[in-house]
């Protein structure tokens, strides 16, 4: 409906287009504008690619760090004996009592397995391997206690649960002393937390940087099309119509930037994985670096597109409105 | 069609471009707006096209007070006004077709519908064979006619022209004015700002005259 001339029918209404077709046409126009924006970008491939690369590479750093943290967490979780509890039993227990206690523990729901190190066997081993054999001969009785190595069930291996279990075991009559070597695990966890927090902060900063860079690029784009925008406003284009191609440009930046981020992250992981393999060989373990999963790649891509869109939206909101025909 | 009631316009900085201007252009009327440079012709046109807002007084189009039209509605209101400029304001990196089709695509026409109308408009201004050309490849008179085609392609009831013949020789100017007469004949109201007094003298149309921002003759008093 015309604003100034009631009787005058305008635009789409005039040719009597159905709501459905108008809906279809809306999307057709959007696709056309999206393709047109892509064509516009292709006219200056170097400049466009540079912006996309900045976007992509900015996301590569947090993505790679994320992969490293993810894998380190996996190591922490994988470590079977991380929260193994060592029980030193009282020395006055008979072989029979130790055996009963061992069986009792094995049946507990919280405990996956118990390994018994017999004090006589331990003494024998110690005598052979330590070189104190003669000194030990001088002792009249075995100074070593029986030892039980308790491995909690999987969901009790966290630091707090393992500590609770150790506390329970400490109260057992047969137990003289309990040792739970959690220090290094706690340190690893604290370190991981530090890296994770740092990663978040870094990712946030880089995301802001990406938004600003895209915003600035779009601002320059808008300024270079000042005359065109003025003409469009003169012939009745709404701000929304003028904005759309710029928003699509931002989306394309994110689209291609996300692909660049994938590629660069994959290269980075390939690069690191060589060193990781060397380390894991030194520790005689079979460890391979796990890259981004499909879902994580999708998230990375959507994030890139979202940032591109956000950057262009900010620029467009601010600048398209200020350009007025003269 | 266009009604000014005691309209004044003072630009930021204190320059008073228009002072107490009143006139009324009837629907379907064609008129010239004249006056020396800086008399306020462009300001008057800008008030109609809402590129500027009056400091005082009322501007009405078809009975609608333009004060009531907020900035979000301006684009829609401008679709009712065809505007033609001395520098024609064509997009130089777009073809003649794309330039003329612009208002239609903005209004949401489908490509087929737009193509029909663009061809009709270009045919009307005599540039039916220059559809695929770029404005650079056209002469000044042809560029101006592309601008006219763009202004009339969505058939607005009102045409505003700011010095449309400013850069053209008398023969070409006359052709342009003939085009405006053609549109006027089918009911379009036309207001042409020009300082080409020779052109005005050859035609017998109502002439509004501005001097230093005042309407010294609204074309109705003497005749």
Q: So what's the pLDDT on residue A6?
A: 61
A233 touches chain B (CB under 8 A): yes
Q: Are A231 and B91 an interchain contact pair (Cβ–Cβ within 8 Å)?
A: yes
Q: How far is A51 from chain B (nearest CA, A)?
A: 24
Report the CATH number at residue B221: 3.40.50.300
Flag if A3 and B102 touch (Cβ within 8 Å): no
How far apart are the C-alpha atoms of A321 and B75, rounded to whole Å? 12
Do B131 and B96 share a structural domain?
A: yes
Instruction: Name the band, by pLDDT with cuts 50, 70 and 90, for residue A2.
Output: low
- Do A224 and A117 sit in the same domain of this protein? no
Q: Is B4 helix (H, G, I), strand (E, B) or coil?
A: strand
Q: What is the model's pLDDT at position A12?
A: 43
**Mean pLDDT for the stretch of residues A233-252:** 92
Same domain membership, residue A239 and residue A261: yes
**Cβ within 8 Å, pair A238-B75:** yes
Q: Helix, strand, coil % (nearest 5) of chain B?
A: 35, 25, 40
Q: List the A111-117 sheet strands across, edge first.
A: A111-117, A147-152, A85-89, A175-180
Phi, psi of B196 (to 5 degrees): -80, 85
Whether residues A235 and B113 touch (CB distance < 8 A) is answered with: no
Chain B residues near residue A11 by CB distance under 8 angstroms: 79, 104, 107-109, 154
pLDDT tens digit sequence for A244-271 = 999 999 999 999 999 999 999 999 988 8
pLDDT digits (tens, 9 = 90+) for B163-208: 998 878 888 888 889 999 999 999 999 999 998 888 888 888 899 9
Interface contact A5-B62, CB threshold 8 A: yes
Confidence at A43, pLDDT banded by 50, 70, 90: confident
Q: Is B154 exposed, middle or buried (0-12, 13-18, 19+ CB in 10 A)?
A: buried
Which pair of tokens denotes residue A233? Answer: 């406003």
Three-class HEC string of B25-78: ECCCCEEEEECCCCCCHHHHHHHHCCCCCCCEEEEEECCEEHHHCCCCCHHHHH
Could A10 and B103 be called an inter-chain contact, meaning their C-beta atoms sit closer than 8 Å?
no
The minimal CB distance from B108 to the residues A4, A11, A232 is found for A11
The pLDDT of residue A7 is: 60
Average pLDDT of A181-191? 75
Residue B110 has pLDDT above 60, yes or no: yes
Q: Do B106 and A232 touch (CB under 8 A)?
A: yes
Same domain, B223 and B116: no
Residues B67 and B113 grouped into a single domain: no
Flag whether residue A223 sits within 8 Å of chain B, measured between CB atoms: no
ipTM of the complex: 0.90
Note the pLDDT tens digit of each residue in A270-286: 888 888 888 778 876 76
Q: What percent of chain B has pLDDT over 70?
A: 99
State whether residue B15 sits within 8 Å of chain A by CB.
Answer: no
Q: Are residues A124 and A173 in the same domain?
A: yes
Q: Given an 8 Å threshold on Cβ–Cβ distance, is B78 in contact with A22?
A: no
At residue A136, does pLDDT exceed 80? Answer: no
Identify whether A14 is part of a domain.
no
Asked whether residue A133 falls in the same domain as residue A163, the answer is yes
- Give pLDDT tens digits for A98-131: 888 888 888 888 888 888 888 888 888 877 777 7
Using CB atoms, pick whichever of A12, A29, A236 lies closest to residue B78.
A236
Question: A233 pLDDT exceeds 90?
Answer: yes
Chain A residues near residue B109 by CB distance under 8 angstroms: 11-12, 15
- Please report whether residue B180 resides in a domain: no
Whether residue A18 lies inside any domain: the answer is no
Same domain? B106 vs B149:
yes
| pLDDT above 60 (res A49) | yes
Residues of B in contact with A231 (CB under 8 A): 89-91, 102
- Put simply, whether B126 touches A (Cβ < 8 Å) is no
Interface contact B102-A22, CB threshold 8 A: no
With a cut of 60, say whether residue B213 has pLDDT above it.
yes
- Is the pLDDT assigned to residue B223 strictly greater than 80? no
Q: Is the pLDDT of residue B138 over 80?
A: yes
The pair of three-digit structure tokens given for residue A222, joined into one six-digit string: 């808008």
Question: Domain count of chain B?
Answer: 2
Cβ contact B45:B162 at 8 Å: yes
Residues of A in contact with B73 (CB under 8 A): 3
* pLDDT score at A8: 64
Q: What is the 3-state secondary structure (H, E, C) of B85-130?
A: CCCCCCCCCCCHHHHHHHHHHHHCCCHHHHHHHHHHHHHHCCCCCC
Q: What is the pLDDT of residues B24-83, one digit of tens each?
A: 999 999 999 998 888 889 999 999 999 999 999 999 998 889 999 888 889 989 999 999
Nearest to A25 among B62, B110, B157 (CB): B110
Could you tell me if A71 and A194 lie in one domain?
A: yes
How far is the C-alpha of B116 from the C-alpha of B96, rounded, in Å?
Answer: 14
Together in a domain, B138 and B165: no
Q: Give me the count of residues in chain A.
A: 326
Q: Among A212, A226, A214, which residue's Cα sits nearest to residue A48?
A: A214
Average pLDDT over residues B127-156: 92
Contact B145, B126 (CB under 8 A): yes
Q: Of A125, A148, A181, which marks where a domain is finished?
A: A181
Say which of A230, A236, A325 has its CB closest to residue B79. A236
Alpha-carbon gap: A322 to the closest alpha carbon of chain B (Å): 12
Residue B184 lies in a domain: no
- What is the model's pLDDT at position B46? 93
Q: Please tell me which residue, A296 or A158, carries the higher pLDDT value.
A: A296
A-B contacts (CB, under 8 Å) = 85
Given a contact cutoff of 8 angstroms between Cβ atoms, the answer to whether B98 and B134 are in contact is: no
State the burial class of residue A274 (Cβ atoms within 10 Å of its Cβ: 0-12, 13-18, 19+): exposed
| Same domain, yes or no: A232 and A285 | yes
- Contact between chains at A231 and B89 (C-beta distance less than 8 A): yes
User: Which residues on chain A are in Cβ contact (under 8 Å) with B83?
Assistant: 234-235
- Domain holding A108, by residue range, is 84-181
Judgement on whether residues B53 and B35 belong to the same structural domain of the protein: yes
Domain of B68?
1-78+161-171+190-223
Residue A230, domain member (yes or no) = yes
A78 pLDDT higher than 70:
no
> In the numeric block, which tokens belong to residue A244?
């759309």
A166 and A55, same domain (yes or no): no
CA distance A229 to chain B (A): 10
- Flag if A325 and B51 touch (Cβ within 8 Å): yes
> How does pLDDT run across A63-77, given as a tens digit for each residue?
998 888 888 777 766
Say whether residue B109 is in contact with chain A using an 8 A CB cutoff: yes
Binned at pLDDT 50, 70 and 90, residue A79 comes out as low
**Interchain pair A11, B69: CB under 8 A:** no
For residues A123 and A232, membership in a common domain is answered with no
pLDDT at position A298: 93
Residue A80: what pLDDT? 47
Distance from CA of A211 to the nearest CA of B (A): 27
- In this structure, the answer to whether residues A192 and A311 fall within a common structural domain is yes
Which is it for strands B30-34 and B206-211: parallel, antiparallel or unpaired?
A: parallel
**B107 to A234: CB separation less than 8 angstroms, yes or no:** no
Contact A235 B73 (CB under 8 A): no
Q: Tell me: the pLDDT tens digits for A157-179?
A: 777 777 888 888 888 888 888 88
Residues of A whose CB is below 8 A from B104: 11
Cα angle: A220, vertex A224, A225; to 5 degrees: 120
B1 and B73 belong to one structural domain: yes
- What angle is formed at CA A144 by the lines to CA A141 and CA A145, rounded to 5 degrees? 110
Please check whether residue B76 touches A, CB under 8 A: yes
- For residue B160, pLDDT beyond 60: yes
Taking all residues of chain A, what is their mean pLDDT, rounded to a whole number?
A: 84
């Amino acid at each position: 409906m015309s604003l100034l001339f009631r009787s005058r029918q305008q635009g789409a209404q005039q040719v009597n287009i159905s709501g459905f077709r108008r809906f279809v046409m809306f999307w057709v126009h959007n696709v056309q504008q999206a393709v047109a924006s892509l064509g516009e970008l292709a006219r200056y491939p170097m400049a466009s690619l540079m912006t996309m690369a900045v976007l992509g590479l900015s996301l590569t750093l947090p993505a790679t760090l994320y992969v490293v943290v993810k894998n380190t967490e996996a190591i922490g979780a994988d470590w079977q004996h991380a929260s193994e509890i060592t029980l030193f039993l009282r020395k006055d227990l008979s072989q029979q009592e130790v055996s009963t206690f061992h069986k009792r523990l094995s049946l507990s729901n919280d405990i996956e397995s118990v390994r018994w190190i017999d004090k006589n066997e331990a003494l024998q081993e110690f005598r052979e391997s330590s070189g104190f054999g003669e000194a030990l001969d001088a002792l009249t009785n075995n100074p070593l206690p029986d030892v039980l190595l308790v491995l909690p069930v999987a969901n009790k291996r966290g630091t707090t649960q393992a500590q609770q279990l150790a506390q329970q075991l400490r109260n057992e009559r047969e137990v003289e002393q309990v040792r739970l070597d959690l220090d290094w695990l706690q340190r690893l966890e604290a370190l991981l937390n530090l890296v994770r927090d740092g990663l978040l902060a870094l990712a946030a900063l880089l995301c802001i940087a990406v938004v600003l860079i895209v915003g600035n690029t779009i601002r320059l784009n808008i300024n270079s099309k000042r005359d065109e925008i003025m003409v469009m406003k003169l012939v009745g284009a709404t701000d929304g119509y003028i904005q759309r191609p710029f928003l699509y440009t931002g989306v394309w930046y994110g689209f291609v930037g996300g692909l660049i981020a994938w590629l660069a992250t994959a290269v980075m992981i390939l690069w690191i994985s060589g060193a990781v393999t060397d380390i894991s060989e030194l520790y005689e373990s079979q460890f391979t670096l796990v890259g981004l999963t499909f879902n994580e790649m999708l998230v990375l891509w959507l994030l890139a597109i979202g940032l591109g869109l956000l950057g262009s939206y900010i620029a467009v909101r601010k600048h398209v409105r200020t350009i007025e025909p003269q | 069609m266009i009604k000014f009631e005691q309209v004044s316009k003072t630009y930021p900085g204190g320059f008073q471009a228009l002072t107490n201007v009143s006139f009324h252009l009837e629907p379907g009327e064609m008129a010239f707006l004249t006056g020396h440079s800086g008399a306020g012709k462009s300001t008057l046109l800008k008030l109609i096209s809402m590129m500027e807002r009056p400091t005082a007084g009322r501007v009405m189009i078809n009975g609608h007070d333009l004060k009531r039209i907020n900035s979000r509605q301006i684009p829609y209101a401008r679709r009712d006004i065809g505007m033609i400029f001395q520098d024609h304001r064509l997009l130089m990196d777009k073809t003649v077709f794309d330039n003329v089709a612009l208002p239609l695509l903005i209004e949401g026409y489908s490509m087929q519908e737009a193509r029909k109308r663009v061809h009709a408009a270009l045919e009307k201004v005599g540039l039916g064979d220059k559809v695929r050309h770029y404005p650079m490849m056209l002469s000044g008179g042809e560029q101006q006619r592309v601008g006219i085609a763009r202004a009339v392609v969505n058939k607005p009831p009102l045409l505003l022209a700011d010095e449309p013949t400013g850069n053209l020789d008398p023969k070409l100017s006359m052709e342009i004015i003939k085009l405006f007469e053609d549109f006027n004949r089918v009911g379009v109201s036309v207001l042409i700002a020009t300082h080409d007094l020779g052109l005005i003298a050859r035609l017998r149309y109502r002439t509004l005259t501005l001097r230093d921002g005042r309407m010294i003759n609204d074309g109705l008093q003497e005749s």
